[in-house]
Structure 1
Amino acid sequence: MIEEVGEWNVTRGRITPQQLEEVLAEFDDAHADALEGTPVPIQGEPPECDVIDYDGPVSREAVRLLECARSGGSVLTDHDVWTDENLEVLVARFVNRPDVSGNDFFSKLELQLDGVADDVRVLFAELFLLQMLPLMQFHPATKVRNIERVLKNASGEYEIPDAIREALEKPVFRGGVAFSTRRFQQLSMLIEFVRYLRTLTTDELDRGRDEPLAWRKIVNKSPGTPERTLRGSLIYLGHPDYFFPIVVDIDKEWIIEAFYPEETGRPASGDLDVDLAALREWMSPSPGPLPNFYEPPLSDRWLDFDEEPAVENGEELEAAPYTVESIIEDGAFHSPQELRRIVDRWDSTKNIVLQGAPGTGKTWLARRLAYALIGSEDEASVRAVQFHPGTSYEDFVRGWRPAGDGTLELVDGPLLQHAELAREEPGIPHVIIIEEFNRGNPAQALGEMLTLLEHTKRSEREALELTYTREGEDRFHLPENLYVIGTMNTADRSLALVDFALRRRFSFFELEPQFNDTWKSHLRDRFRMAPAADIEEIARRVIAMNDQIAADPNLGASFRIGHSFFTPEVEASELWPWFEAVVETSVAPQLSEYWHDDPAAVEGVVQQLLAEL
């Protein structure tokens, strides 16, 4: 890896070939140690630095909590609450019930934990404590109040020890908005993480306790949603003597770029944490305190102070949770189980397509699935674009555009712009919605992104050079927290077929017309004076029409008419006049497109729909 990185720096003119040879020789001498995480010493006079000398209480309590996670125990009681049985209760009641209704996290939590034993509540409180422990963005009183809210319905009384209060009052880093807006997902991942620890052998646990990079591997391999900032926090808390309290990889990258190779005289190794550890040993050798890269004078070398902090001082930004249940409440006619299956699969594959007949609510559902994936209605994290026959790589990814001075400039398209936003907020999923995915030529519009979109290619190791590159620009990879959802109309014969290479990188979900009991209930709510029998009759007629369309060998199920055609947004006065208007102005023209050479068939279906009761 270090050879590849070194050669890359040589090609970019950052170091000379002779400097690379000297560094490789030095690296070979210490290669065995470096593999175990021992940083290769940096020669020369280190810069002055401020240090982090207030992390002792957090480090102390983190050791206690992580020991409970490995071996059992408690920091709030005198007996073991970190048992496998209590963990399984939390999996069943909390992790596996993400869609319980509730206006906020704590109202949902009370429904999820209703009736559980005190030990289960205490375990959840201690997991919550581990999540909040090092964070600066929450006031200490807020952290204490959150723990007390978890325990308030317990049958016993529990006190937060002074040692824990001291740690809560001396936080170490600002974690970003994900620690608030994705609280459910982060705590679910913590529960899964502790379960994973219980599957490891004693030797594996001992290695994780003794070796920083072994601990990092354990944290990153544990199951659950990515939650990059939380995993970064766990990595730091497991070895605060080695890792820095920096949970955003882009910050680590900027720091490394600022010091390697100009300040250190050698290229970076390719491992951000090992390179940071080398800087630490250079500037403030262990067991001394960690250098503080977020305060002058070190921050002056890499940090742009014009940028706003992710979370304002002392403020907790908690958005109302948005779940699959929220989609149902917004008016979806699909079952919660089907929607949850889509979200779970999307979380795994990163890329999905909603396809189906016209009027099945693909666009409407895509945005709400994005909110459910994110966990809140975070508009800034969702961007929608529409493909058309003229959509090109230059439009969607990057291309040359006229500048104001008459020259051409290289401009990033929506995909790269949103990818950069995602990279800056690694703890929050960012979604790009591509409407009419197959109306253009997706493979042509994506270019090399067709490879980089694949969920197994979201790493620096898999990075590729873009078609259009800026001077000195490194190879590119998409961030792990960028998700893509496309919509496809399967009834439009003029649309391009999606090739196999693209299909392999997306999961496809067929949206069926939903003329079910939920849809009927919606109509009864919109037409309060209409007899229930009339709504049943409309459903019967529409389903009969769709059966006829599906049976036509020239059409098929993809050409059925979706429920959106027959779903009024607001309450209407009369059922049958509304239905007649929908059939004559929306459905009949669609049918005329289907049977353009058989107007009699169109007329027959329309008459069946509008026949007198």
Structure 2
Amino acid sequence: MSATENNARRVRLVLELLADHPEGLPKTAGPEAVFPQVFSQVPQEEHEAELLPSGLSRAEATLTWSSVDLVKAGWLKKSGRGLWEITPDGRQALEDYPDAPTLVTEARNRYNAWNALSSERKNEQLRTTIVAVDKDEEAVRLAALPFVERGLQDGDSVFAPGRAIWATGPLDELRSVFVDAPDPEAGNFVEKLEVQLAHASDDARLLMAELVCWQLLPISPGAIGERAKKERVQTLLGYMDHPVQIPTEVSKAFKSGSFNPGTAMSNNLYAALVMIIGLLDGWLRQTEAEKERLLGDAWAWRDFVNDLPGHRFPTQRNTLSYIVHPQRISSIVSEKHKLAIRAAFVGEISADTTDVDRDLLAIILKLQQKTGGPVDFYEEPFAHAWNQQPAPDTEPDPEPDAEPPAAETARSGQRRPFPPADAELADSLFFDRGWLQKQLDLLERRGQVILYGPPGTGKTFVAMKLAEHVAGADEYTEIVQFHPSYSYEDFFQGYRPATTAAGSLTYELKDGPLRRIVDQALKNPEFNYVLVIDEINRGNLAKIFGELYFLLEYRDRPIKLQYSKDDEDSFVLPANLFLIGTMNTSDRSIALLDAAMRRRFSFVELHPDKHPTKTVLARWLDHHDLDGEPAALLAAVNGKIGASDFRIGPSYLMPKGDRFRPGQLEDIWEYDILPLLTEHHYGERIDVEKTYGLKALRAQLDTPPPAAPGPPDPVAG
């Protein structure tokens, strides 16, 4: 039979199988699933079994697309649990269209009717409302809805539904402790809030957290990153006696944004919050009829926001207008940009008016209909047209909070400086704070360092501690270990085999640890991220880094990647990403490293004979009130090892339990240290046990071995 005839038989069989299983069946998982049963009864012929780039065979792909027709026809339901279920209309279709080809044709006709209706709805939306420019703005709009529907409309908490906090009582508390109270002298905005809210109720604290969240929500990660938003809101929630959690839909939207507002909204949070508190105060004074009018009429709401008393703060006022009515008021919050855009595109409408927001709505609707999609004035082909326009004669005086030029809006977040080396870091490593501060300064200045030295000097442990200190938490770091078979595809990005739902093999572009942490760093430019590369010298560095070698030296230069999708797909290594490598010098000398790698990294030596590693074991023993013999033994054995790169590091003699159990020192010497020295002296006529054994070293130190443990003390009767 032809492929078309076979597919028609399979489509009908899908509905018949589901009619026999009203509880539903999975699509592919298990022998009882839909696809395995269908293809066992109507097997694929040779011309249908050809694999497509998706990894599905032609027959599987065709049946998958036909299942979409069934869904749009109303005959098949695909549940969120992964089950396919027949609908009552689907059962009726089996009776109405007993002939398989006729059933498939009818399903296709119904799909076309749905598609035409869908297109009509889309065109109507483009004609009447401002469409979100991308998924990020869509996420912000969705997350902002509860602030309108629960907060403004119902007076209810967004984070803890059922608590009436968008109300006069909690608001009066905020006005008393925040707006009318004197500003605390010390601390940043969040620290001052802790003082101001110290005697407020939990409802008032929760309201402040929600208002701050509402203010931060539409700001793009280029101005305030996901981590900064989340950190600020979570800190405020932490001031509550009984904290609540940020809703998932709001937390997810923190990584998105609608606009970059410039520096004032990011830095002048006090003025922004005063305005938002004033807005809520004005809102609560309105009658129910007036509230309904303000939420139903974008221009009435815009005028209400603009008439609020206080600081002019145009970007914050424009934000409050947009966040409640994003389908009528554009996400452009800079007055200067609004005027320039209107001047550039006013030809799209009959004539401009004195109302820039209404003109922008009319311009956007015209352009949406022309292009068949959303309009982003900060992207081509629109950005060049208005960004070259001379300033209109009606342009207001420059605002302190105006946006930077369009070309500068991509990344304006300022990276936080490294936290200084503190006592906690020094104590955890048994290093001097001065030495640690020197290495932190070096890493911050150069961007990438390599810790090198013999085995057991704690290179990886030190690297991970430094990474966590710089990034603030280990969740903002990545660690990877190089080895001879490690590749660019493993490290950065490459195609990997994957299995489709139908069980066929395909290939997908997968991100490696470097790409993953770069993506995080780009979304959170205020924060530091660290990638630790353990055993960096064991990999083929030219093969692993590829074109990324260039970026280690020129962080601000975009390059094309090996798997770039098009000419505009460029990549930069962000300035807030730092690399720490570790290198075991018993495996390979620094002199044998690739010259390009030596030039791009700074090298920090950790050696048992040199500061600070030299004193680590003695400090550790003293801290845990242990006998100093292990430090003396380590010094003695290293004194006998001629090659500097093969000397033993202190970490071998620092067990995880923070003390030695009986016989553990002897075990470490026999099973860890002596095998290393045996390998070092391989082929030489040296009796390793006689030279480096504990008995010989203790005799040299004139130290008797510890007494064997005696019988247990008798239990007192």
- The TM-score, its normalising length taken from structure 2, stands at 0.44
Flag the 1:497–1:278 CA change in 2: closer, same or farther, 3 A. farther
Flag the 1:435–1:592 CA change in 2: closer, same or farther, 3 A. same
Asked whether the equivalents of residues 617 and 631 of structure 2 are also in contact (C-alpha less than 8 Å), the reply is no
Query: How far does residue 146 in structure 1 lie from its aligned partner after superposition?
Result: 3.9
Task: Work out which of the residue numbers 602, 608, 611 in structure 1 matches 2:696.
Answer: 608
SS at match of 2:633: helix
The residue number in structure 2 matching 1:266 is 382
Asked whether the equivalents of residues 515 and 539 of structure 1 are also in contact (C-alpha less than 8 Å), the reply is no
Spell out the pairing of 1:48-67 with structure 2 (5 A cutoff): none
The residue number in structure 2 matching 1:356 is 453
Spell out the pairing of 1:182-331 with structure 2 (5 A cutoff): 233-234=266-267, 259-260=375-376, 265-268=381-384, 324-330=422-428
Does residue 672 of structure 2 align to residue 596 of structure 1? no
Flag the 1:605–1:48 CA change in 2: closer, same or farther, 3 A. closer
The residue number in structure 1 matching 2:657 is 570
- Taking the aligned partners of 1:351 and 1:495, their CA distance within structure 2 comes to 16
Query: How far does residue 472 in structure 1 lie from its aligned partner after superposition?
Result: 6.3
Of 334-343 and 564-573, more deviation after overlay is shown by: 564-573
Does residue 534 of structure 2 align to residue 435 of structure 1? yes
| AA in 1 matched with 2:438 | R
Flag the 1:263–1:440 CA change in 2: closer, same or farther, 3 A. closer
Spell out the pairing of 1:72-111 with structure 2 (5 A cutoff): none
Asked whether the equivalents of residues 448 and 466 of structure 1 are also in contact (C-alpha less than 8 Å), the reply is yes
The residue number in structure 2 matching 1:144 is 193
Query: How far does residue 426 in structure 1 lie from its aligned partner after superposition?
Result: 1.7
- CA deviations on 1:68-112 (whole Å, 9 max, x unpaired) are xxxxxxx969xxxxxxxxxxxxxxxxxxxxxxxxxxxxxxxxxxx
| AA in 1 matched with 2:578 | Y
Task: Work out which of the residue numbers 512, 519, 526 in structure 2 matches 1:413.
Answer: 512
Asked whether the equivalents of residues 432 and 485 of structure 1 are also in contact (C-alpha less than 8 Å), the reply is yes
| AA in 1 matched with 2:423 | E
| AA in 2 matched with 1:452 | L
The residue number in structure 1 matching 2:633 is 541
Does residue 599 of structure 2 align to residue 500 of structure 1? no
| AA in 2 matched with 1:465 | K
- CA deviations on 1:269-319 (whole Å, 9 max, x unpaired) are 9xxxx96x98999xx9757999999xxxxxxxxxxxxxxxxxxxxxxxxxx
SS at match of 1:597: coil
- Taking the aligned partners of 2:430 and 2:651, their CA distance within structure 1 comes to 10
Query: How far does residue 436 in structure 1 lie from its aligned partner after superposition?
Result: 0.7
RMSD value, Cα: 5.0
- Taking the aligned partners of 2:476 and 2:216, their CA distance within structure 1 comes to 23
Asked whether the equivalents of residues 233 and 245 of structure 1 are also in contact (C-alpha less than 8 Å), the reply is no
Number of residues paired by the alignment?
Answer: 370
Does residue 431 of structure 2 align to residue 334 of structure 1? yes
Task: Work out which of the residue numbers 604, 623, 647 in structure 2 matches 1:560.
Answer: 647
Flag the 1:263–1:510 CA change in 2: closer, same or farther, 3 A. closer
SS at match of 1:596: coil
| AA in 2 matched with 1:233 | S
Query: How far does residue 470 in structure 1 lie from its aligned partner after superposition?
Result: 2.0
The residue number in structure 1 matching 2:491 is 396
SS at match of 2:542: helix
The residue number in structure 1 matching 2:159 is none
| AA in 2 matched with 1:609 | L
Asked whether the equivalents of residues 387 and 434 of structure 1 are also in contact (C-alpha less than 8 Å), the reply is yes
- Taking the aligned partners of 1:389 and 1:169, their CA distance within structure 2 comes to 50
Query: How far does residue 522 in structure 1 lie from its aligned partner after superposition?
Result: 2.5
- Taking the aligned partners of 2:129 and 2:399, their CA distance within structure 1 comes to 15
- Taking the aligned partners of 2:573 and 2:545, their CA distance within structure 1 comes to 12
Query: How far does residue 548 in structure 1 lie from its aligned partner after superposition?
Result: 2.9
| AA in 1 matched with 2:382 | R
The residue number in structure 1 matching 2:606 is 511
SS at match of 2:460: helix
- CA deviations on 1:431-473 (whole Å, 9 max, x unpaired) are 111111010112220111111123xx333xx101001212465
Query: How far does residue 333 in structure 1 lie from its aligned partner after superposition?
Result: 2.4
Does residue 574 of structure 2 align to residue 452 of structure 1? no
- Taking the aligned partners of 2:506 and 2:607, their CA distance within structure 1 comes to 50
Spell out the pairing of 1:519-530 with structure 2 (5 A cutoff): 519-524=617-622, 526=624
Gaps of 5+ in 1: 1-44, 53-74, 78-120, 133-141, 150-164, 184-228, 294-320
SS at match of 1:421: helix
Larger radius of gyration: 2
Asked whether the equivalents of residues 525 and 571 of structure 1 are also in contact (C-alpha less than 8 Å), the reply is no
The residue number in structure 2 matching 1:209 is none
Asked whether the equivalents of residues 630 and 653 of structure 2 are also in contact (C-alpha less than 8 Å), the reply is no
The residue number in structure 1 matching 2:216 is 173
Flag the 1:495–1:423 CA change in 2: closer, same or farther, 3 A. same
Asked whether the equivalents of residues 393 and 447 of structure 1 are also in contact (C-alpha less than 8 Å), the reply is yes
Does residue 685 of structure 2 align to residue 586 of structure 1? no
Gaps of 5+ in 2: 1-126, 133-140, 145-180, 199-207, 218-223, 234-261, 273-311, 321-330, 342-372, 404-418, 705-717
- The TM-score, its normalising length taken from structure 1, stands at 0.50
- Taking the aligned partners of 1:324 and 1:49, their CA distance within structure 2 comes to 50
- Taking the aligned partners of 2:572 and 2:264, their CA distance within structure 1 comes to 20
Of 593-602 and 429-438, more deviation after overlay is shown by: 593-602
